[in-house]
Structure 1
Amino acid sequence: DGSYKVHVDKASHKGDAGTYAVHLYYMLDGKRTYITETTATVPETQVTGNLTITNQTSNGFDVVVTNVSGGGKTVQEVRVPIWSDKNGQDDLTWYHADKQSDGSYKVHVDKASHKGDAGTYAVHLYYMLDGKRTYITETTATVPESQVAGELTITNQTSNGFDVVVTNVSGGGKTVQEVRVPIWSDKNGQDDLTWYHADKQSDGSYKVHVDTASHKGDAGTYSVHLYYMLDGKRTYITETTATVPESHITGKLTNNGSYYSVRGKYDDIIIVNKKHGLSKDYNPGENPTAKAAFVRLRDDMINQGLNVGRSYSGFRSYDYQKTLYDNYVSRDGQAAADRYSARPGFSEHQTGLVFDLTDKSGNLLEDARASQWLKDNAHNYGFIVRFQAGKEASTGYMPEAWHIRYVGKEAKDIHDSGLSLEEYFGIEGGDYATSSKPAESKPATTGAINLPATGTYTFTGRASIKAEAKVSSPELAYYDKGMSVNYDKVLTADGHQWLSYVTASGARRYVDIATVKATETKPEAKPVAKPADQPSLPESGTYTFTGRASIKAEAKVSSPEL
């Protein structure tokens, strides 16, 4: 349009604000000629910045800084001092705000950096301009109080137990030091109350597995409560209930002419013990399914470096078992042989479902580490350790760590129950004939017995079998009155007289037969047998004991010995 134009940037004039002189000159005939003049005004630039609080939760908040201007000066840094309104400025923190792609700046505030305080927070904004910290503006943010929270969910409810899952775990601003879950059944009050420690899972939840065997096998309703440990104190959170269904196992035995069986959860289970025998003609050989599972188990044990050999004892026919049993009777006597060997027609080996493991030396497996592995893992292969310590009253046999029985899928249920096969199905077991056996034994005689160095000894009372000639050594099994044993040593140790012999598996055993008066060694605490008859006594007086007698807190046989 024939006009002329100039753009003036104050950056070319040292950034000056205020009045500018503007003159006009023409170049005429090569000479600069003044024409006119005026003035222009550049207003002062404002330092600006806006604070916005976002994402406010019980854990903290975000601070967003927008409209950032240094009023013509370079903003070298954006700083945001923040503190809660509790205890002055004892939690004051100077945050460096990070520039975002849209030109704004951002700070995230975690209340954990402010002593976990809830409530009002002061939020100020400063710029660094020309190396100096310059106040810009301020606002406040609110952190709501945290709520103590936790949710209980019951999963995997079966007749053997259930799982408890704890989610949404919050200590309301306090650290949850521990998650505890007390659980009990609705039977007999809280006599089975157990405080479980919940284990934290990878997803932040907590979990407890409840086995009914730890609650007297009770079915029905269970109370499940949730507590946290907060500041060292146990704090109630919430509660729910779980239901354990009644087991459908009936324990009803049937006999098909060859063997007894009971209906399990998944299959019919063959039952063989001293009360339930097999037909002499039953000769199935090794069960192929059981054999394949056994080979897998044995090889896994070997591959894990356990002391397990490849040899084993599996299927035995009726006639083979008769020969084996008769040899044991000839060597040790029938009473002793019945403790560790089955009579023909009463051996689980005749089913083809049983395998005896050996160690690398070819002896029956008694290695502690391998035996524990077997006890903990055999069910994963469909097996149970058939004869375990403390179960002789139901199984009828001394503990045999090496003897495993294939039952298939139900092996896990039996293992988890902590019961013997007889106890699990509620069927009769024990000895060939009903007998009354005291719970524990004591030496039947006081004073050393004059015995030859080797020979056969017939017991006059119940006597403990142990792995060491020590009173404190755990009882492995026992001999009852009238039983006999072939021994190869007689020794005195720990204030007692002992017989010693070597078992069929090659392990040496010791039997406590008498207390030796000459020693001051205190015998292991063992209850004595019930007196044959009740003595006639005055209402009060002095009594001299004729044998060892237990002191208890209650006049009950079941009360613990004090």
Structure 2
Amino acid sequence: MAKLAQQESKPSGTINIENLSNLGFDVHITNVSGGDKAIQGVSVPVWTVKDGQDDLVWHQADRQSDGSYKVRINVGDHKSEAGEYIVHLYYVQDGKMVGIGGTSTTVPVQNATRHNLPASGSYTFTARSGIKTQPLVANPDVSYYDAGMSVNYDKVVNNDGYTWLSYLSYSGNRFYVAITPTSVTKPVEQPVQPSTPSSGTYTFKERSSIKAEPSVASPELAYYAAGMSVNYDRLVTADGHTWLSYLSRGGSRRYISIDGKATAVAQPTSPSLAATGTYTFTQPSSIKTQPSVASPELAYYDKGMSVRYDKVLTADGHTWLSYVTYSGARRYVDIS
């Protein structure tokens, strides 16, 4: 009797658009299945219908505790444009990009009257809005206000292309909430004449991040490992660093810092601390997503608080404790 061939299981997932407002939206991928293969990463390319893919950004989704994946799409990363946004979904499997599906959503036009706020007062949110430690789009959310919730604020700030409400928390920390885009501000590129030719082929000596903008704060889209090469057509300085630049196959311009400062490289260290254990803080200490002084603060440990860590390393001239959160994300705390 002939053996029946086993049918190959295909990767799949459901794209959900959540928390839509004039500031952006969340892409939440549920029912995630890699089929017969493991998923090494989840990429979400997003662009607006207006002017084609001139604002295409490959966003990297983060795995949630329930096995789903989520990423926040800020309009500030897409020229602050309203209108129809195209959202595609890819899994990284066996080092290759596998297309899963796509959808679209419409970002509403901002309400211009929201600019006319008093310098201080109470504000009621009409959409979910992220709370940040700095008035920067790239600064991670530490929490959020949902639609219908209110805040008493004491400042209105214009920064990074947005209008922000600002207030002091009960613990004395200042926080910021974006309520409307103003204008888009991008890093200024300046030509440079270093020893590296203005175009050619470059071989990387260390892991180097690929970014959509020549900015330290720009999220990492992917990376080149040590020994890999790239053909570049431009060399610029921006945000205090030197960057190689090239056009991707999709026609999007990409940037890579080559002066070794924009990407923190973690190196083992031999401190007096145990390699793993519990550490009690003697002063307020910032929690970050990267072992880098430039990495934004997500939250902090106060004096007297403790953390269980599984790594000690040096990077960016500092000593860092590192641990994995309950959601599986790695965090770093500067203790030097």
TM-score (norm 2): 0.39
Rg bigger for which structure?
1
Greater helix content: 1
**Higher RCO (CA < 8 A, seq sep 6+):** 2
